């Protein structure tokens, strides 16, 4: 393609979509990246380029966007995540299965490249937990995991049968400061920084020793761009594990104590998300992603902690130093940035 591709991002107001749209616009030009969601964007998000309402459950509406804007590539980020999915399995099934099928049909009918992320949640309790390979037992027992296995297999089927250019990566938990997480089982690894800076204490919904794969959002977005732009012939498979680092809540808390406050207190109150985390890998093998399209994360656990504290610190410094609110005013709640 000699001109810049025109890219549609679904679910663009979520944790990952926010940064992905900025990155795509910086690379391909603001007007070539159409952001979409079913939520109303803040004015500053609308100002940087086209934004449209697009419900992924409505094939015709999606098709209209593809035709009107001459879309070449779709980055499909609309989804209901693991914890939110267990709260509302019917919604998760609808959005994750029917929404994906709509986007896949669109890719087939209009010759689009389609990148739709999967997750470590596509693995299950019988999957080997350490250095989990790309190809292994996949019998997840969450509605999120089941819908993502469906997505992976259907994407591969459309690639084989119809030549659709489908690409996917199995993300670990993604940690970000600029956009809040959307209802996953690794959300604690973002929440803990807000709580440390605001209250110097945190009640964690996972047990102290629950080790899970994680990545900082910058690595996640760089890797997603690499796979999105990789030449077809470089791809030896359609779905890739990606791993950056792994830690447990107690290890994360120790780093926060070391870098922020020796008095930081954490208590453990595991809830239904513990049962989800218990079925996921501790580490994933990602050699194919590294060899085929250059996955090379640079943020380790210490880098993530330092970056999160640096980015969020000023927000809480200004909130914590505000004058006390009048007795009849609502309490100031630190904004999740």
Ligand X SMILES: NC(=O)c1ccc[n+]([C@@H]2O[C@H](COP(=O)([O-])OP(=O)(O)OC[C@H]3O[C@@H](n4cnc5c(N)ncnc54)[C@H](O)[C@@H]3O)[C@@H](O)[C@H]2O)c1
Give the nearest distance from C-beta 146 to ligand X in angstroms.
13
Give the nearest distance from C-beta 263 to ligand X in angstroms.
29
Is 37 a binding residue for ligand X by CB under 6 A? The answer is yes
Distance between alpha carbon 48 and the CA centroid of its chain, in Å? 22
Is 171 a binding residue for ligand X by CB under 6 A? The answer is yes
Is 174 a binding residue for ligand X by CB under 6 A? The answer is yes
- In the stretch 69-88, what mask flags binding to ligand X with x, by CB under 6 A? --------xxx-x-------
Is 22 a binding residue for ligand X by CB under 6 A? The answer is no
Structure tokens at 127: 């999957």
Pick 74 or 264: Cβ nearer ligand X: 74
Contact residue for ligand X among 5, 15, 115, 227 (CB under 6 A): 15
Structure tokens at 253: 């808390």
| CB 256, CB 248: distance < 8 Å | no
The two beta strands, 113-115 and 165-171, are parallel
Residues 176-215 that bind ligand X (CB under 6 A): 181-184, 186
Active-site residue flag, 240: no
CA dist., res. 23 & res. 187, Å (int): 23
Pick 4 or 248: Cβ nearer ligand X: 248
One of 144, 188, 202, 316 is an active-site residue; which one? 144
Count of residues interacting with ligand X (CB under 6 A): 29
Give the nearest distance from C-beta 55 to ligand X in angstroms.
4
168: closest CA among 111, 122, 108, 218?
122
Instruction: Find the residue with minimal CB distance to ligand X.
Output: 14
| CB 60, CB 106: distance < 8 Å | no
| CB 78, CB 13: distance < 8 Å | no
56: closest CA among 69, 47, 65, 68?
65
Is 117 a binding residue for ligand X by CB under 6 A? The answer is yes
Is 10 a binding residue for ligand X by CB under 6 A? The answer is yes
User: What's the DSSP call for residue 262?
Assistant: T
- In the stretch 258-277, what mask flags binding to ligand X with x, by CB under 6 A? --------------------
CA dist., res. 104 & res. 151, Å (int): 9
Contact residue for ligand X among 7, 8, 9, 13 (CB under 6 A): 13
Is 225 a binding residue for ligand X by CB under 6 A? The answer is no
CA dist., res. 91 & res. 77, Å (int): 16
Is 173 a binding residue for ligand X by CB under 6 A? The answer is yes
Give the nearest distance from C-beta 144 to ligand X in angstroms.
7
Is 279 a binding residue for ligand X by CB under 6 A? The answer is no
| CB 45, CB 13: distance < 8 Å | yes
Is 122 a binding residue for ligand X by CB under 6 A? The answer is no
What is the separation, in whole angstroms, between the first and last Cα of the chain? 37
Is 285 a binding residue for ligand X by CB under 6 A? The answer is no
Pick 5 or 14: Cβ nearer ligand X: 14
β-strand partners of 203 = 267
Distance between alpha carbon 156 and the CA centroid of its chain, in Å? 21
SS (H, E, C) 179-229: CCCCCCCCCHHHHHHHHHHHCCEEEECCCCCCCEEEEEHHHHHHHHHHHHH
Is 283 a binding residue for ligand X by CB under 6 A? The answer is no
Interacting residues with ligand X (CB under 6 A): 10-11, 13-17, 37-39, 55-57, 77-79, 81, 95, 99, 117, 119, 171, 173-174, 181-184, 186
Catalytic residue IDs: 144
């Amino acid at each position: 393609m000699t001109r810049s591709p025109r890219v549609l991002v679904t679910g663009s107001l979520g944790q990952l979509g926010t940064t992905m749209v900025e990155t795509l616009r910086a690379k391909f030009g603001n007007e070539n990246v159409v952001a979409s969601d079913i939520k109303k964007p803040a004015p500053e998000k609308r100002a940087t380029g086209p934004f449209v309402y697009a419900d992924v459950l409505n094939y015709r509406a999606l098709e209209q966007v593809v035709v009107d804007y001459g879309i070449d590539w779709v980055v499909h980020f609309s989804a209901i995540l693991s914890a939110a999915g267990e709260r509302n399995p019917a919604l998760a099934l609808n959005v994750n299965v029917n929404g994906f099928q709509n986007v896949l049909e669109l890719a087939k009918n209009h010759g689009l490249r389609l990148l739709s992320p999967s997750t470590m949640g596509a693995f299950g309790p019988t999957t080997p937990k350490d250095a989990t390979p790309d190809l292994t037992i996949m019998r997840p027992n969450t509605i999120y995991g089941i819908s993502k296995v469906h997505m992976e297999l259907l994407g591969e089927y459309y690639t084989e049968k119809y030549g659709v250019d489908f690409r996917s990566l199995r993300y670990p938990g993604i940690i970000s400061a600029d956009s809040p997480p959307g209802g996953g089982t690794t959300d604690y690894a973002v929440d803990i920084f807000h709580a440390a800076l605001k209250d110097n204490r945190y009640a964690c919904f996972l047990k102290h020793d629950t080790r899970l794969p994680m990545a900082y959002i910058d690595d996640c977005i760089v890797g997603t761009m690499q796979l999105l732009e990789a030449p077809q012939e470089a791809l030896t498979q359609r779905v890739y594990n990606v791993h950056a680092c792994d830690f447990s809540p107690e290890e994360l808390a120790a780093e926060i104590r070391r870098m922020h406050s020796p008095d930081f207190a954490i208590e453990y109150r595991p809830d239904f998300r513990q049962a989800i985390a218990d079925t996921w890998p501790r580490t994933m093998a990602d050699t194919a992603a590294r060899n085929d399209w250059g996955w090379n994360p640079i943020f380790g656990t210490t880098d993530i902690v330092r970056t999160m504290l640096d980015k969020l610190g000023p927000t809480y410094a200004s909130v914590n130093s505000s004058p006390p609110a009048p007795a009849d005013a609502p309490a100031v709640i630190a904004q999740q940035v």
